[in-house]
Structure 1
Amino acid sequence: MITKILTRGGRASAYLLVRYLRALLLLLALPNGLLLGWLITPFTAALVKLANSERRRAAKYLRAGAPDLLPPALPRAPGDVVTLFRDRSFKRSLRLLLMPLVMIPELFVSVFALVGVPAAIAGMLLWKLDPGGFTLMGVPVDNWTEALTNGTGQVLSSLAVLIWVVPAVARLHAGAVLDLLEPSADQLETARLERRVEELTQSRAGAVDSHGAELRRIERDLHDGTQAQLVSLAMRIGIAKQTMAQDPEKAAKLLDDARDGAEQAMTELRGVLRTMYPPILADRGLAGAVSALAARCPLPVELRIGELGEVPAAVEAAAYFVVAESLTNITKHSAAGHVDVLLERRDHELYLAVTDDGIGGARVNEQSDLLGRGSGLHGMLHRVQAIDGHMELLSPIGGPTTVEVILPCG
């Protein structure tokens, strides 16, 4: 019971004391801030950051979750008063100047709650050393009756303030901070749109990089594989044509080799085309294609596929490649014994989760690490972001590893 009282009252008192110290610092900086704030641009940004810090601490005290924060102060040149008065975040953060008005009552309540009981006990025990010099409940003490009566009253009053008054004042202060410093609806909408633009810019850059890398890979595969086979095929046909009249058997052998080369070139060309858009998606759909990947995986795969409905081709391709790359990574690097794949439709989104019971420690890197891990996940992330999807990797050391992907279908 005592621990609960001290925890509740002590937490509230600590919150109010810290608020008092911040208000005191703000009060000390206020004269110079008002005189030079229009000229010193960091003052504007600092005041907005202080307002956001107060909102975070108030929400933490009330256990209200992460609050909406004021957008950063507008960039401006020294002396730019026009921009300063247009800055809604700065004008909203000026409400912090109300803090010094309430810091004295809050400090008195907090100090009385924390010091009242020890002071009462000391006064009851030591009043004889200086009769009339100790005060309990504001009354000088010069006999045992007053010491015990007033001391008990001060103990009970301090505990009552610590249990009920201080938490109430702290909640009132925190609630007022959240209300007074809350960003406006227009600011929240603007901040949301700015974050969205930033996300789209990053995803567009990732899509461009991914597209460029894909084109270079296709060009490399065609140049090193299919093109070389076709050049060899042309040379064999030319030689066979020249030797046809003089050595028909040699020409026939060259034509047989050319036929084998043509078949091999066709196989390599189909392989390149398959990486662009797997034909199995068109033949069997996403569910059938993922089932085929699971069947070819050397590890046991538990496959759970819900009702998918109609899925856009780009989303099908992205989901297919995520599953294919995930199963490849798990087979090569995870030392896993089992894989779980979940694929289902959730309203207007396609949800995909691939989980393995391996060693974990997977990270998304632009380049492979010493063990050859990471770059495949980076490619998966770009492929998902290119269609405005979201990918999250959970892979603590020791496992398990889960790749979660959400792809928009609307």
Structure 2
Amino acid sequence: MFTKILSRGGRASAYLARRYVRALLLLLALPNGLLLGWLIPAFTGALVKLANSERVRAAKYLGIPAGPPLPPAAPRRPGDVVALFRDKSFKRSLWLLLMPLVMIPELVVAVIGVVGVPAAIAGMLLWQTAPGDFALMGVDVNNWFEALTNGPAQIVTSLAVLGWGTPALARLHAGLAHGLLSPSEDQLETARLEQRVEELTKSRAGAVDSHGAELRRIERDLHDGTQAQLVSLAMRIGIAKQTMAEDPEKAAKLLDDARDGAEQAMNELRGVLRTMYPPILADRGLAGAVSALCARCPLPVDLRLGELGQVPAAVEAAAYFVVAESLTNITKHSAAGHVDVLMERRDADLYLTITDDGIGGARVNEQSDLLGRGSGLHGMLSRVQAIDGQLELRSPIGGPTNVEVILPCG
């Protein structure tokens, strides 16, 4: 019982004492803040940060989640008082100015709880050395009767204050601080919208970059492959036309070569088109296309397909390329012996996981490392973010590696 009182009361007294110190510092800074706060934006930002700090400490004492903080102070020009008093975070932070008003009563209660028992024991034992100079329960001690009655009463009172009064006061202080310094619903909604806009801006930038890189790759493939084949094809047909009358056999051979070149150009063109939207998706759907990918993988693949429902074409293409790139990376770099693929519909989202039992250590990099790893994962991430999806990679050294993708279908 006594240990519980000391533990509970000591923690509450320490919390109130720290609040007293911070309130004292705030009180010392208050004159400069009132004089210069409207002029210097940094004072406003510091007050909001102090409010968030107090709120976190209050939540920690209460043992509850701190929740979202107050948004940072709104940017403003020096001396812009109108913008200052429109700032909801600043107005919320003004509740901190109540701390100096309550710091003295709170400290008195904490001191009574902590010092009361040692002071009572000292007064009971030492009153004879200086009669009238020791006080117990606020009464000067001049005889043993007063010492033996007021001393135990002060001990009991101090323990009660320490075990119940101080914790109740600390909880009240922490509860008020947490409630008064919490952002309003409007601020939370605004913060969520701003975060959403920032995420969409980043994903849009990634989509634009990914789209540009994809266009450059397609242009390069067409220029270096298909176009070269078509130029060669035109030259062969032209030469065959010139030699047709003089050397029919040579012309026939050139036409045969031209036919082979045309077939090769068609194959290369089909390969480029497959990277844009694989024809197998149109022919067999997402489930059939993914099944074909897993069947062609040289490693054993355990594929589990749930009900997919109607999936938009962009989501189908993204999911297909994620599986294709993942299986390619696993085959090349993971030294895995087995792969698990799960694809299913979860409400309005398409859920996809690819797990292998390889060596791990996969990372998302914009450029390939010395072993040629990383850039493919970055391409997957860009493709997923472009349609507002989420990709999470877990690949500790030693494995296993898990790629989890959530693609919105709404």
- Give the TM-score of the pair, scaled to structure 1: 0.90
User: How far has the Cα of 1:47 moved from its partner?
Assistant: 0.8
SS of corresponding position for 2:350: strand
Q: 2:321 maps to which residue? A: 321
Residues 1:174 and 2:174 aligned together:
yes
**In 2, Cα distance between equivalents of 1:396 and 1:128:** 72
Deviates more, 1:271-280 or 1:297-306: 297-306
Matched with 2:22 is 22
CA displacement at 1:290 relative to structure 2: 1.5
- Cα deviation, residue 208, structure 1: 0.3
Look up the equivalent residue of 1:170 and give its one-letter code.
A
- Alignment match, 2:43: 43
Matches within 5 A, 1:11-410: 11-116=11-116, 138=138, 156-410=156-410
- Which is further off, 195-204 or 182-191? 182-191
Seen in structure 2, the aligned counterparts of structure 1 residues 241 and 143 have a Cα distance that, compared at 3 Å, is farther
Alignment deviations for residues 160-200 of structure 1 (CA, whole Å, 9 cap, x no partner)? 44443333222222221122122222222222221121111
Deviation digits for residues 70-127 of structure 1, max 9, x if unmatched? 2222212211112112222211211110111222222233344444555566667777
- Distance in 2 between residues matched to 1:404 and 1:207, nearest whole Å: 20
Q: 1:24 to 1:270 in 2, by over 3 A?
A: same
Secondary structure (helix, strand or coil) at the match of 2:110 reads helix
Which has the larger displacement, 359-368 or 278-287? 359-368
Percentage identity across paired residues of the two chains:
84
1:55/1:67 contact within 8 Å kept? no
- In 2, distance between residues paired with 1:96 and 1:250? 95
Deviation at 1:11, TM superposition (A): 3.7
Deviation at 1:37, TM superposition (A): 1.0
Q: Is the 8 A contact 2:127 2:142 kept in 1?
A: yes
Q: Distance in 2 between matches of 1:3 and 1:307?
A: 59
Quote the Cα distance in structure 2 between the aligned partners of 1:298 and 1:139: 92
Superposed CA RMSD in Å reads 2.7
Match of 1:351, SS state, is strand
Contact 1:207 1:382 in 2 (8 A): yes
Q: Give the AA of the match of 1:43.
A: F
Structure 2 vs 1, CA of residues 135 and 249 (structure 1 numbering), >3 Å: closer, same or farther? farther
Task: Specify the SS of the correspondent of 1:264.
Answer: helix
1:77 is paired with a residue whose SS is: coil
Unpaired stretches in structure 2, ≥5 consecutive residues:
none
Offset of residue 133 of structure 1: 5.7
In structure 2, distance between residues paired with 1:244 and 1:53 = 89
Which AA in structure 2 matches 1:310? Q
- Are the equivalent residues in 1 in contact too, given 2:38–2:84 (CA < 8 A)? yes
- In structure 2, do the counterparts of structure 1 residues 229 and 312 end up closer, same or farther at CA, with 3 Å as the change threshold? same
Closer/same/farther in 2, CA of residues 297 and 33 from structure 1, 3 Å limit: same
C-alpha deviation, 1:356, in angstroms:
2.5
Contact 1:225 1:265 in 2 (8 A): yes
Higher mean C-alpha deviation, range 202-211 or range 75-84: 75-84
Query: Separation in 2 of the partners of 1:39 and 1:283?
Result: 68
* Separation (CA, whole Å) in 1 of partners of 2:54 and 2:224: 61
Are the aligned partners of 2:48 and 2:89 in contact in 1 as well (CA < 8 Å)? yes
Report the 3-state secondary structure (helix = DSSP H, G, I; strand = E; otherwise coil) of the residue aligned with 1:90. Answer: helix
**Partner secondary structure for residue 399 of structure 2:** coil
Runs of 5+ unmatched residues, structure 1: none
Letter in 1 for 2:168: A
Contact 1:306 1:345 (C-alpha < 8 Å) held by counterparts: yes
Partners of 2:55 and 2:66 within 8 A in 1: no
Distance in 1 (alpha carbons) for counterparts of 2:17 and 2:28 = 17
Number of equivalent positions: 410
> Distance in 2 between the 1:203 and 1:266 partners?
35
**Aligned with 2:73: secondary structure?**
coil
Per mean C-alpha deviation after superposition, the further-off stretch among 355-364 and 187-196 is 355-364
In structure 2, what is the Cα distance between the partners aligned to 1:352 and 1:16?
51
- The AA in structure 1 aligned to 2:37 is G
Higher mean alpha-carbon deviation, 358-367 vs 340-349, is at: 358-367
Deviation of 1:14 (Å): 3.2
TM-score by length of 2: 0.90
Give the Å deviation of 1:140. 5.9
Q: After superposition, give the CA deviation of every residue in 1:35-76 in whole Å (9 maximum; x if it has no partner).
A: 111111110111111112222222233333242322222212
Tell me: CA distance 1:104–1:232, structure 2 relative to 1, closer, same or farther (3 Å): same
Structure 1 residues 99 and 226, CA, compared in 2 at 3 Å: closer, same or farther?
A: same
